[in-house]
Amino acid sequence: MPQADHNALLKRIARERLAPHGMVQQGGSRTFLKDRGWFMVMIEFQPSSFARGSYLNVGADLHFFPREHMAFYCGYREAGFTEARQFDNATILFTDFKGFTQLSEQVTPAELVQELNACFKEFDALMTKYHIEKIKTIGDAYMAGGGLPDPQHGSPADVVRAALEMQDFMEHHKAERNAAGKPYFEMRVGIHSGPVVAGIVGVKKFQYDIWGDTVNTASRMESSGEVGQVNISEATYALVKNEASFTFIPRGKVQAKGKGEMEMYFVEMADHNA
């Protein structure tokens, strides 16, 4: 099938199936599919990227970006790269499940993916609730950032609130699975605040991503934390310490891999009835 026919097929799908639901926006020569503030960008197909006689690959060349990222995308499509953008006051969240490898040996692959999806769907909903940007999942790890791509959204306090609600969900989910005699995940969460650089790299399935020492340190906050806790750095603590809704447990200087000793704090929701 000629490339022009592939493009026509995509546009017909958009027009017939999605336009009636208000999910299509035309922009110049491109067609965008809208869904809850996200755009699925129709990439021009190369003949080799579409399996002949199969419609299963239609989604393979659709790239997903939040509305705020479209400037990155448009520049990328025109020049093959984009200029990186620095965010000086981002707050980065990392999660990781304890014993993921051991649990994966106790369930089928389908059950493992189903359980991961149940957790990550809840995390996604919390990111939406607090206007935090989900960056990506890496295996069983989940990464998100506040203060980007819109610096007015996802404050440090909101990132901490989201993290605490993530742990609440995990605790309730653990109780449900334990009662049913099923294995369960337990999770560490780490948060650090500071500057990051954001942009798009790669050619195949490219995506919006972030880099910098702040990202590495947030990962160390997670790995240096404890199951069921939200572990924050001194930099994040300085930004949220006056929030009346939180209480903090100083941990003192804790050894962090590749970072040496760092001040860390566990944070919890304050009990105003106590």
Residues involved in catalysis: 220, 257
Phi first, then psi: what are they for 212, rounded to 5°?
A: 135, 170
The dihedral built from the CA positions of residue 229, 245, 129 and 172, taken in this order, carries a sign that is positive
The residues, ordered by sequence, that sit 6+ positions from 87 with a Cβ below 8 Å of its Cβ are 147, 148, 149, 151, 195, 196, 197, 198
CA distance 245 to 79: 47
> Locate tokens 């941990």: which residue?
251
**Buried-exposed string 21-45: b where 16+ CB fall within 10 A, e elsewhere:** eeebeeeeeebbbeeeeebbbbbeb
DSSP 8-state code for residue 128: H
Phi first, then psi: what are they for 241, rounded to 5°?
A: -65, -25
Q: What are the CA-CA distances from residue 270 to residues 104, 241, 243, 264, 267 (Å)?
A: 35, 12, 10, 18, 9
CA distance 106 to 109: 10
User: Do 14 and 24 meet the contact criterion of CB atoms below 8 Å apart?
Assistant: yes
